[in-house]
Amino acid sequence: MIDDPDRHASKMAKKKAARDKIMATKTGEKGLVIVHTGKGKGKSSAAFGMIFRCIAHDMKCAVVQYIKGGMDCGERDLITARFADICEFHTMGEGFTWETQDRTRDIEMAQAAWEKSKELIRDPANRMVLLDEINIALRYDYLDVTEVVAFLRDEKPDTTHVVLTGRNAKDELIDLADLVTEMELVKHPFRSGIKAQKGVEF
């Protein structure tokens, strides 16, 4: 069904007015703590999308990779090859923990990554800092979530955005965060499971 054009225009005009009114109240600027978690795809991709957006706007930014160091990473190659002047990139991890099987070493690496992260976040020149897969390090207690949350709350400059990714984000971090997105994997069989099937419904 196609709406009557006048009715459509009037409906959309109302929507625009409502939206403009809401947007007019949103004048403040604030550096956000942003968390991407969940079992779905896109947690790191969306974070890197924001990093590329910063690069596009000529905003200084930085990335610390906590876990994926041992794996191939196209974004890293592109950023280090083309945008090293605007985005500092540190790969501190050596692959997921089941690849290394050495907890002591994993803890040392996570701690070193966190020290580098603090240094980058404290530098007010950085407008966004991405702590990629830090949630994995927090989940295995390679890092103390209390310390991470306290630092973000007390020492992060007001205008700096910090993005933290990885599944199983800790509740303490979610409580602190300004914006939390959960990437859910939608499975087709469950979604389309309402179809009647021979032998089951008839």
The reply to whether 36 sits near a copy of itself by the rule CB under 8 A is yes
Sheet with 161-165: list strands edge to edge: 33-37, 161-165, 128-132, 61-65, 87-91
Binder among 24, 171, 197, 198 for a copy of itself (CB under 8 A) = 171
Q: What's the full length of the chain, in residues?
A: 202
The window from 112-120, 122-130, 154-162, 177-185 that contacts a copy of itself (CB under 8 A) reads: 177-185
For residues 36 and 165, the answer to whether their CB atoms sit within 8 Å is: yes
The reply to whether 2 sits near a copy of itself by the rule CB under 8 A is yes
The reply to whether 53 sits near a copy of itself by the rule CB under 8 A is yes
For residues 103 and 36, the answer to whether their CB atoms sit within 8 Å is: no
CA atoms within 13 A on the CB side of 55: 21
What single-letter DSSP state applies at residue 196?
Answer: -
The window from 109-117, 127-135, 144-152, 169-177 that contacts a copy of itself (CB under 8 A) reads: 169-177
Binding site for a copy of itself (CB under 8 A): 2-3, 5, 8-9, 12-13, 15-16, 19, 36-38, 40-50, 52-57, 74-75, 77-78, 82, 97-104, 141, 171, 174-175, 177, 179-186, 188, 191-192
